[in-house]
Amino acid sequence: MPAHFISRLILLLSGLALMAFGVTISIHSNLGTSPISSIPYSYSFIFNMSVGTLTVLMHIVMILLQMALLGKQFQWRQWLQLPVGIIFGAFIDILMWATQGWSMHVYALQIGACLFSCLITAIGVCLVVKANLVFLAGEGLYAAVSKRFGFEFGSCKTYGDIVLVLIAVISAWSVLGEIIGVREGTIITALAVGSLVKRMLPKLSFIKFNQ
């Protein structure tokens, strides 16, 4: 068992909760969700399933893709991404239910909510990184592509996010005849969260676990 397991687990769960809250706020802003949530959100209109449930299903697909890419290099501990994805999806559904009465129609308020969601999401990502236990399947898939083909991880994430958004756009347009969950907020989130994480992580250097 990793050193300081309970403390790190609490940090991980706190990070997942904040990330889920960030997803929830971005959905309520009606300006588009983050790239990683664009598929679950748009597909929730296609299949009449909750965003959290579709998030879990997407995690399963991403884990299976990691297995296909890595082959024998796929390690059993990477399956830990599945319970993390289930917890993340459950947090999203709980928070969506708790905030179902929220409605934003004033553009300035929508932009403010979008920016706040970026901040909350970035803090959550930092906590997950500092916990250093297991990451979400999206990052796991990008890491697998990087390892399999020798591409730089940052490039894999950038192009991977673009692919996710394109899948969401094409799927919604093909089935529903309109684009759902992808707007200017999607671009803002894609650009802002990574930048905020880079700025915040050094300020959280006091959070460390001695082995």
Q: What is the pLDDT of residues 152-205, one digit of tens each?
A: 877 777 788 888 889 999 999 998 888 888 888 888 888 888 788 888 877 777
pTM of the model: 0.87
| Residue 139 pLDDT greater than 90, yes or no | no
Those residues with Cβ within 8 angstroms of residue 198's Cβ, 6 or more apart along the chain or in another chain: none
DSSP at 4: T
What local confidence, expressed as pLDDT, does residue 203 receive? 79
Mean pLDDT computed over every residue of the chain: 86
What local confidence, expressed as pLDDT, does residue 125 receive? 84
What local confidence, expressed as pLDDT, does residue 71 receive? 85
Q: Each residue of 65-109: pLDDT tens digit? A: 998 988 888 888 888 889 999 999 999 999 999 988 888 888 899
Between 24 and 148, the more confident residue is 24
**Band of residue 209 on the pLDDT scale cut at 50, 70, 90:** low
What local confidence, expressed as pLDDT, does residue 196 receive? 83
What local confidence, expressed as pLDDT, does residue 101 receive? 83
What local confidence, expressed as pLDDT, does residue 193 receive? 80
What local confidence, expressed as pLDDT, does residue 116 receive? 93
Please, are residues 26 and 32 in contact by the beta-carbon 8 Å criterion? Answer: yes
Residues 26-43, mean pLDDT to the nearest whole number? 89
| Residue 138 pLDDT greater than 70, yes or no | yes
Residues 45-74, mean pLDDT to the nearest whole number? 90
Measured at the CA of 201, the angle between CA 34 and CA 11, to 5 degrees, comes to 80
Helix axis angle, 5-29 to 35-47, nearest 10°: 60
Those residues with Cβ within 8 angstroms of residue 58's Cβ, 6 or more apart along the chain or in another chain: 39, 40, 85, 137
Measured at the CA of 115, the angle between CA 109 and CA 120, to 5 degrees, comes to 120
DSSP at 1: -
How many other C-beta atoms are found inside a 10 Å radius of the C-beta of residue 189?
29
How many other C-beta atoms are found inside a 10 Å radius of the C-beta of residue 190?
20
148 burial (CB, 10 Å; 0-12 / 13-18 / 19+) is: middle
**Band of residue 3 on the pLDDT scale cut at 50, 70, 90:** low
What local confidence, expressed as pLDDT, does residue 205 receive? 75
**Band of residue 5 on the pLDDT scale cut at 50, 70, 90:** confident
**Band of residue 1 on the pLDDT scale cut at 50, 70, 90:** low
Distance CA 95, CA 174 (A): 29
